[in-house]
Structure 1
Amino acid sequence: MADLIRGVLFDIDDTLFDYSSSERAGLLEHLAAEGLLDGFPSPEEAVGRWRRIMEEEYDRFLVGELTFEEQRLVRVSRFLGRPVPEEEATAWFAGYSALVNAAWAAFPDAAPVLAALAPRYRLGVVTNSTLSHQLAKLTALGLLGHFGTTAIVCSSEYGQAKPHPGIFLEGCARLGLPPAQVAFVGDKYDIDALGARDAGLRAFWLDRSGRGAIPAHESAAGPRAGAAPARESAVGPRVGAAPARESAAGRPARDVSAGEGAAGSRAGDGREREGAAGSRGGDGPAPDGVTVIGSLEELLTALDAVSSRRSAGGTAG
């Protein structure tokens, strides 16, 4: 018999927080102010270059090769294509960050869904970043009150990054729950969903774009499977990721079996995308699978379905 879900852990960037949009807006405004934007064939080329460099250098931070501040300075020099003195690079990045931060916004479904979950579930966060940065972000977004500070696990302080199982298990420990009673919600299929699943949690992959799963080795965004994930919560999501868009509230969840690159089928529609496997939607996720949702409203629907199946039949998928 599957355990009843009693807690939910969340990723932050492009899960609760629309980083893709704020990053793009802040970077382009900064480049225009610096007189650099016209040096790129298109705004998208500029954004793509910035994100590629970010992924590579932030990966070095996650494995301990660079400090949080050092990776920022290295990114400036690489992006500008010349050695940049530390003081100049610090000022350049500060100007960029200020514009990005001014555009910060939570997804419209984040606060209402967290408020709906709070009376019934223990809530927490597992994120690949620094604690100080993420606390400041959640405070600015008005979301910190849903979590407090004790149930927020950040890779910099914990010492391991997603998809390592240890950081997911630490999140469960902060909630005071075993992994089987905890759901994890994140926007990266390999790092968030598969990482959580492999750590024994109930995995929910938030695919706001509806693009389906992309194996890490085929994506310009993600690192190799099992490699340290290259995401800075201060800087952005997968390289080349499409801007997140909200899906219709209440859209049924989809299911994906355990298997990198599986795309899944939409719950109840009787169709499966190419490469999909596992249980059909409506039957609930396979015990070792991933439930795919297109919005946080769908998470509410999926969690209610798990609870209803367990109450009605004594089992839950």
Structure 2
Amino acid sequence: MNNTYRTQGKKAICFDVNQTLIHQGIHFEHAFRLVWEDYTARWIQEDLPQADQLWSKYQHYWQQHKKIKLARMQLDELQQQCLQEALQELSVPVHQQFAKEFFQLVRRHRLAAKSLAPGVEETLRALAPRYKLAIISNSPRSEVIHLLERFGLQSYFPEERIFTAHHPGEKKPGMQLFKTAIRTLALMPRHILMVGNSWKHDVCGATKAGLDAVWIQSGSTSRKISQQKLGKRNVYCIQHMDQLQELL
């Protein structure tokens, strides 16, 4: 079976952003610790908790609340509440907007450390004349647009083709974003290909919505393209973004 036949009839390609088009520079925990260490280095108050202590307390409240409250709260609101509760338990006095400002700095650290994945720009340039290109991401819309502009990718993805969740319940692997993309692109699901690094969010979500998917397994030294079935849909496994051109 040749590569052209395997992906015959595709008219649009949707991409995840983080860890697909853009490589994550530092993890959330690392950024969290860096921001707290920066704050404590500037405070006069003595006996402030170490980053390990605050992270442990934050994680305790996050695990306690996430399943119940994430369904009705925005992610950033829940993060702020968990941090406020952790600081209160550790007897750290902070002003009312501290938690909000704290996570703004966490996001800045993470955004600053991101980098463009190898082969992305060349691949998008080759695909753009033949396919509609779109984004389906769980990241905040403002962050997605910022990253596309920062790395010079905005011309490949018109804003009407950037699909992000307004509420936690709309996020992948739920079908809401995929259905919105299908409707906006005015195509049948079988004509759309989803590309992402997450088996759960990108591959399972896409195939459930009727799309074929490409799973990027970064970190592997192999350059073999493989194919498997998930339900009735095809899943293609690649290791590097530039293999997408070979697949198509």
TM-score category, normalised to shorter length: 0.7 to 0.9
2:191 matched to which residue of 1?
181
2:235 matched to which residue of 1?
290
Which segment is superposed worse, 152-161 or 85-94? 152-161
1:70 matched to which residue of 2?
77
Larger Rg computed on CA atoms: 2
One-letter amino acid of the counterpart of residue 256, structure 1? Q
Please state whether the residue corresponding to 1:86 is helix, strand or coil: coil
1:255 matched to which residue of 2?
227
After superposition, the Cα gap between the structure-2 partners of 1:158 and 1:75, relative to the gap in structure 1 and judged at 3 Å, is: closer
- The answer for unaligned runs of 5 or more in structure 1 is 211-246, 260-286, 304-317
For residues 39-77 of structure 1, give each alpha carbon's deviation from its aligned partner in whole angstroms, at most 9, with x where no partner exists: 539xxxx6x9988987987777763x1135412312433
Which segment is superposed worse, 20-29 or 173-182? 20-29
Give the conservation status (yes or no) of the 8 Å contact 1:62–1:161.
no
Give the strand-richer structure, 1 or 2.
2
One-letter amino acid of the counterpart of residue 180, structure 2? E
Alpha-carbon separation, structure 2, partners of 1:190 and 1:202: 14
After superposition, the Cα gap between the structure-2 partners of 1:178 and 1:24, relative to the gap in structure 1 and judged at 3 Å, is: same
Aligned length: 233
Alpha-carbon separation, structure 2, partners of 1:209 and 1:52: 31
2:139 matched to which residue of 1?
129
For residues 192-228 of structure 1, give each alpha carbon's deviation from its aligned partner in whole angstroms, at most 9, with x where no partner exists: 1011112111111112134xxxxxxxxxxxxxxxxxx
Q: 1:40 aligns with which of 52, 56, 79?
A: 52
TM-score (norm 2): 0.76
Please state whether the residue corresponding to 2:237 is helix, strand or coil: strand
Alpha-carbon separation, structure 2, partners of 1:296 and 1:56: 38
One-letter amino acid of the counterpart of residue 102, structure 2? W
Q: 2:210 aligns with which of 200, 208, 216?
A: 200
Alpha-carbon separation, structure 2, partners of 1:19 and 1:51: 21
Please state whether the residue corresponding to 1:126 is helix, strand or coil: strand
Higher RCO (C-alpha under 8 Å, 6+ residues apart): 2
One-letter amino acid of the counterpart of residue 40, structure 1? D
Please state whether the residue corresponding to 2:182 is helix, strand or coil: helix
Give the conservation status (yes or no) of the 8 Å contact 2:213–2:236.
yes
TM alignment of 1:149-164, pairs within 5 A: 149-156=159-166, 160-164=170-174
Q: 1:101 aligns with which of 111, 115, 127?
A: 111
Give the conservation status (yes or no) of the 8 Å contact 1:76–1:92.
no
TM-score (norm 1): 0.61
Shift of residue 175, structure 1, vs aligned partner: 2.4
Alpha-carbon separation, structure 1, partners of 2:153 and 2:84: 34
Shift of residue 28, structure 1, vs aligned partner: 4.8
Please state whether the residue corresponding to 2:202 is helix, strand or coil: helix
Alpha-carbon separation, structure 2, partners of 1:115 and 1:174: 22
Give the conservation status (yes or no) of the 8 Å contact 1:254–1:291.
yes
Identity among equivalent positions (%) equals: 23
One-letter amino acid of the counterpart of residue 185, structure 1? V
